[in-house]
Amino acid sequence: MYLARKKGKFMLTLEGKNAVAGCLYILPFAIGFLAFVFFPILESLRMVFSEVNIDVVKHGFSMNFTGLANLKRVFFIDPEFNRLLTEEVGRMLLIVPAIIIFSLFSALLLNQKFRGRGFVRAVFFLPVILSSGVMIGLETNNALLSNMADIIKQGNSVKSSITGVLEDILITEGAAGGDFMEYIFDVVNQVYDIAMASGIQIIIFLSALQTIPPSMFEAAKIEGATAWECFWKITFPMVSPLILVNVIYSVVDYFIRTDNRVMTKINTTLMQRMEYGFSTAMAWVYFLAVIIIIGVAGAIISKRVYYYE
């Protein structure tokens, strides 16, 4: 009940005051969403089913309804979009699990007590948080770095990757077969990208680790539990709700990266070719694909999540 009658007058209860405070808190977002986001979203939906003609003289545009023509072009005519989307989803399935494992392992290390722990955390987090986007942009758009990479690939007779020599040796000895070893090699070759994309996830896992009561570990050690058993019986279940959060964040973060080839294609079609209807259709298909992936991942992981009460 938000209202209570007191001395013949209706007054807000504590629950009502909290509800009013919550509404006031989200009011700026609601106003901004309705004023600047809601109507552009509706306009983009119209563009999906229309041919957009730009009027340079009047600085405007007109839309002619074309039905499903843009969507048919996205799925059946364009030779690149489906291939790029499939490849990016495959890369996401490779990188996101590695990010989660790396960030959890790093958080476990940084949660230990050792000298200079605060300094190590600062050194580890600040470059990742403050400059990861800048570094990705520089690597993507820097012609000098691109030329250097091409020269290395052309001049290297073996493999220009971190695991190139090791992989050749293991293949020669017959020990590098199987999909699992291929996955390990691919992850190691992309360890720089994984580390640069793990900053926020490490912070989330670290905050979860610090909320675990030390008394639980003390009781487990008294009962004779090993560190390995403490991890699987206490640490992992207690941080499992944050695994779901980090997976969703990592998926979204991956699909909006500046070096994402699907987003590059959409941006090129929009800004250079001026095909607003086609680019908007690709953007909406891309958005729906990401939503489906997040829904599937959330449905699978939520069944394994343990909530401590």
Q: What 3-state class would DSSP assign to 225?
A: coil
Instruction: Give yes or no for a contact between 220 and 203, defined as CB atoms under 8 angstroms apart.
Output: no
Instruction: Give yes or no for a contact between 129 and 199, defined as CB atoms under 8 angstroms apart.
Output: yes
CATH architecture of the domain with range 74-302 = Orthogonal Bundle (1.10)
What pLDDT is recorded for position 128?
Answer: 60
Residue type, 184: I
Residues 73-125 pLDDT 10s: 889 888 888 899 998 898 888 888 888 988 888 888 888 877 777 777 776 66
For residue 309, name the pLDDT band (cuts at 50, 70, 90): low
Domain ranges of the chain: 3-48, 74-302
For residue 267, name the pLDDT band (cuts at 50, 70, 90): confident
- Give the bridge partners for 11, in sequence order: 4
Residue type, 58: K
Report the first-to-last Cα separation within the chain, whole angstroms: 26
| Global confidence as pTM | 0.73
Residues 123-175 pLDDT 10s: 666 656 555 545 555 555 555 545 554 554 555 444 455 555 555 555 555 55
Taking the mean position of all CA atoms in its chain, how far away is CA 85?
Answer: 15
Q: How many CB atoms lie within 10 A of CB 222?
A: 8
Residues 233-261 pLDDT 10s: 888 888 888 888 999 999 998 888 877 88
Distance CA 304, CA 49 (A): 41
Mention every residue, 6+ apart, whose C-beta is less than 8 A from residue 273. 279
Match 């896992």 to its residue by tokens: 205
- Give the bridge partners for 4, in sequence order: 11
Q: How many CB atoms lie within 10 A of CB 107?
A: 22
Share of the chain above pLDDT 70, in %: 72
| 308 has a pLDDT exceeding 80 | no
